[in-house]
Amino acid sequence: MKNLWLPNSANMLQLTTSQIQFFTDHGYLTLDALADVEEVQEIRTTLERLFRERAGENEGAYGDLIAGKGQLTEENSPQILNPAYYAPRLLKTKYFRNALAVARQILGDEARFFLDLSILKKPSIGKATPWHQDGAYRDPRFDYKEVTIWLALQDVCVENGCMNFIPGSHKRPVLEHRSVNDDSTSQALQCVQPFDSSVAIACPLPTGGCTIHDPGILHYAGPNISDAPRFAYIMVFGASPKLRREKRVFKWLERGGTANQMRKRRWMLRGGIFITAWRRLRRGDLDWQSTVYWAKRSIRVLRRGS
């Protein structure tokens, strides 16, 4: 379902009842405009600079999405986790305000900013992001209530790697995943439990358009076979994660640490944990529940790197 958002009397984004119902039923939604072209260009320029600088590499934030540490070829799909740490202006954009407004209409007023991410698929060589559920990357000790908003920083089509979703798959539990190519040093996971990819819906977008999806939906972004880079800027919003009562184990997360995870662990042990805490406090996203979550996650990172 593709629609323009509708402004309400307070000049905030207002989804229609049918859009929210579509998201509930199918697990995803597309909007033709969540940010204007001028602001999209500002966001893209900022991210291009961060990619040139390899921002956060020593903290484990920068690295190739697909390749393992043994790959000898050039990067094809680098990503930066939490780019707003290195460019705080990203959280002062109209896009951020619009995205938060949309997330709260879907999840409720408790929704808050959780993390951001940018992925660059280089021209001709940018690899596909494998079929996966975002929930497969999450700590299985917690329950998550969140949405992901994927902003197109240029026109996005099948040829340069638009998002594809399997409608209704968010109603299934987290399926079995494993590292791409069974390479435990790759950051990417792929779903290995059988599913029918023939029913997938491709979601091309204009510049400034976005997809919104549930963490449980199976999704994929194809390779970039075009002659221009494909940038995406992604924000995740959600309620504070809560500890589960029933134990759950994702064996694919018990793999050996990736190069990024090991860099993050070393940085955290050298004092990065205090820098991270300060960054989160500065942007005001640590209530008591999220503080408990962040503390438990930090302990896990310090012990294991993931």
pLDDT at 260: 76
Residue 284 inside a domain? The answer is no
Residue 218 inside a domain? The answer is yes
How many domains, in total, are found in the chain?
1
Residue 301 inside a domain? The answer is no
Torsion of CA 264, 266, 269, 272, to 10 degrees: -50
pLDDT digits (tens, 9 = 90+) for 27-69: 999 999 998 999 999 999 999 999 999 998 998 889 888 876 6
pLDDT at 43: 97
pLDDT at 256 over 80: no
pLDDT at 12: 65
* 197-201, 256-260, 284-288: segment of lowest average pLDDT: 284-288
Distance of alpha carbon 73 from alpha carbon 11, whole angstroms: 48
Residue 117 identity: L
Residue 212 inside a domain? The answer is yes
Percent residues over pLDDT 90 in the chain: 59
Residue 306 inside a domain? The answer is no
Distance of alpha carbon 201 from alpha carbon 1, whole angstroms: 10
pLDDT at 237: 96
pLDDT at 303: 65
Q: Which two tokens stand for residue 210?
A: 């976005």
pLDDT at 22: 97
pLDDT at 265: 80
pLDDT at 7: 41
Q: What's the mean pLDDT in 19-26?
A: 96
pLDDT at 169 over 80: yes
pLDDT at 76 over 70: yes
Q: What's the mean pLDDT in 296-300?
A: 70
pLDDT at 215: 96
Task: Give the 3-state DSSP-derived string for 194-236, with helices as H, strands as E and coil as C.
Answer: CCCHHHCEEECECCCCEEEECCCCCEEECCECCCCCEEEEEEE
């064996």: which residue's tokens?
A: 251
Q: What's the mean pLDDT in 180-200?
A: 87
Residue 260 inside a domain? The answer is no
pLDDT at 217 over 50: yes
- What's 167's domain CATH number? 2.60.120.620
Residue 291 inside a domain? The answer is no
Helix (H) or strand (E) holding 62: strand 62-64
Q: 0.85 exceeded by the pTM?
A: yes
Residue 262 inside a domain? The answer is no
Boundaries of domain holding 189: 2-252
* 47-56, 96-105, 241-250: segment of lowest average pLDDT: 241-250
For CA atoms 191, 211, 198, 64, the dihedral sign is negative
pLDDT at 65: 83
For CA atoms 58, 81, 202, 94, the dihedral sign is negative
pLDDT digits (tens, 9 = 90+) for 108-148: 999 999 999 999 999 999 899 999 999 999 989 999 999 99
